[in-house]
Structure 1
Amino acid sequence: MVDLNHLSNDGRTYIACKTLPENGGLFAYVAVTVGGNTGCWVNCCGRPIPTPVVKPIDLKVEMSSAPKKICEQEDKVYQLTAEVRAILSNRRSQESRMLTYEFFKRLLNNIEQEMLSEEDPNSTACHDPHVEALLEKLIVESKGCENFNPRLFKRIKMLSLLKKRLKNMLQEIEDRNQKLSNHVIASTSPILSLLSPASTCSNSMTEMMWQGALMEKPTSKMADTLAKTYPACVVKMLLALLARERRKIINQLQVKQENLVASVKRDLFNEIKKGIMAYKVARQEWVDVMRVVMHYNKIKESLAEKDLGGSSNNTKSDYLQETIHKEIEDTKKRLDKGNRKNEKLQDDICELNKSIHVITEKIELEQVQAEDQLRAFQNEICTEKSLIMNRTQTISKLEKMVKATQK
């Protein structure tokens, strides 16, 4: 036995072992200090002494790492919770995010109008101050690049670059919203009947088929005859086989019908969602057109009330009217585009209604075929029952004849 002593990492526990002379045994000493933040050791007289020094002959004592792992896990959870709270505290509200998204869309529309006006040399449209500020920032950012000369770049190219950046930002926002909506739909899928119709919709035809097929059992007389003619295990197996086959057929028909209904409802839900989005876009275009028209009417009324006799005033009025007419023409173009989208959407809705009508007819035909097939199965069961009755009667007659011959 090797002599050893051990001191814990915190300096509060001391262990020492010593072999007795002439192999008389082993002596072990354990000392623990409590109180205070550090180890406090005293000698036999009660005087403080330094902390024992660990020697190289000490054995390595392995300590359990479970509490340390638990503490590390708790620290990680606390850190993750703090990070999530920090992110959520900096997140804007839903209304502000929606307003930002609408602002970016309007800004993108204004950039497109600026590009159209740049292509037209006779255009007299006013520049958007927000677009001008963004162009200035873009030029300042581009000055840091090597071999950059703002004079070599036309305004249309800078607008195109700015348009691409805004499109990327809008695409990121739409992708993030789509992911959030997908998570919401996935978390609330048991509530949405369009996503799981088989578990929430009641099918009277299927219930009738189940009741008519599964509750079909032999009569008491037939059961007695089968029990007398065949062993009980054979009769039980026969009834179980009949019930299993009926259940298998009905399950196949039910799964086929539920899959068809689910696919139809899923397609209908997607088309309705697309139609609502197209309607919102068209309505926004209409609101923009009405805003321009109302603004034009107000300006026209104010000009009619005032007496503009000078040529300079007439020139300003003509310039203002030309600008307003230009804006109205651009808005009409957007309105025509929205109307074409609406017409295409109406055509798609008509096609969808036709496809739904065809699928509904197919479902009704499948239901009629299922009922006919079920009726045929029931007739076959009745035929088998009558055959079994005839056989039992024949068996009883033969038994009587055998008894008569034996007598």
Structure 2
Amino acid sequence: VFGGSPCSIEPSEWLNDTDLTIQHKESPADKPGRTYIATRTLPNGQGAFAYVGISLTGDDWMNSSLAAGDTSMQKLDAQFGRKLNEEVPQYEMEKILAKQKNPQEREKVSTFYDTLLQIVADELNCKAPEFNETVEGLLEQLIEDLKAKGQYNCCYDNLDDYERRMELLMTLYDRIKIRRDKVACREEILDDIEEKMMPHLFEVSEIEPDDEYQLPAAMWQQAIEKMPNRKQMAALKETYPNPIVERFVVYLAALKEEIAERTHTRHERIATQMKKELRKESTRQKKDADRMEQMCLDTEKVYKAVTEHWKKKQVVEEQNRQQFNLPVSEHTRLYEELKEAALDTRKLVEEEAARGKFLTDQINSVAEQGETVKEIHEDAIKKCEHVNGKLLRNIKRLNHNIKLYETRISDIKNMGDTTKTNVKNLIAGVKESEF
């Protein structure tokens, strides 16, 4: 065990490449339960893999659970039918989306739920409740539902009336909110499906017989009759038994025919809607053109009438000017000059008035600024006077203290002089006593 490592390691027998060879001959060895093994090594020593096969008796097809499957036509028909029914056809989705309400109706439903939630929330927040028949009816239905589920007696019987109503309102609030969220989620899902799957058609309305359009059915015949090519059929037959492949081809043709019919119907509907929209658009534009033509005719009549009236007026004015062409008098000339001078003076007065108004505004602005400065100066003067008053009071207080100190110094000086005199007299008395 603890010896040195060998220089070379012999590979195991199962690592050798072994090809699977099956000899089709009748022999006693060909019995059920024989095992066939094929191994293959990966290049560059990356590993190996193997295939193991077990022979069984009979021709039954094996399913994924290693049990013989039923390949009868009835079984295959049931399996394929169930598989097809699992997928929702697009025309069924169209029926579902056709029952969807318009955005205005959906907004009303959302507003209804929001109003109910607000009413219940107001009562829960101890605001003045108003009797609402819908809320009371929902509470009655909630109580019946809780009683039917056996949840009312255990949770609400022991509460007084106020607490019971509050608990019921909270439960009702949660259920209404969940219902509103479900409706909103459902509408979002349907809108998303409609946006992704449904074609953007025109508005839905009654279709007139002239707008109906039918496409030739031959355009889909080739798509229906086209079968898988030889390579695909060979791959199917190698993977699945023949009954399943045959049934798959039958169902493939049926499904392609169903898809073609739906597509054909949809294309006819689109063509019909386009034809209807084109007819409506042409009718509307024709009405607009007729209206514009009538407006043009009316305008032309008015223009002709105005032109004729203007020409007549010009002729009459020319005749009057030629008939009453009198020289202008001096009085008239002076009047015109005075009129022009008055107009000029009026303009000057208006300009001066505007200038005066501007100057008045400037003066008022300066006066306001002066008042502001005056108020500031008065405040400063008052502050200075207050400070000066304090200084004067302090000076008076200091002068009084100085006088007191001077009096005290004078008294001290007098006391010193008296003491000095007494000392001198005492010294003199001592000297006299010595003699």
Q: Give the TM-score of the pair, scaled to structure 1.
A: 0.25
Of the two, which has the highest radius of gyration?
A: 2
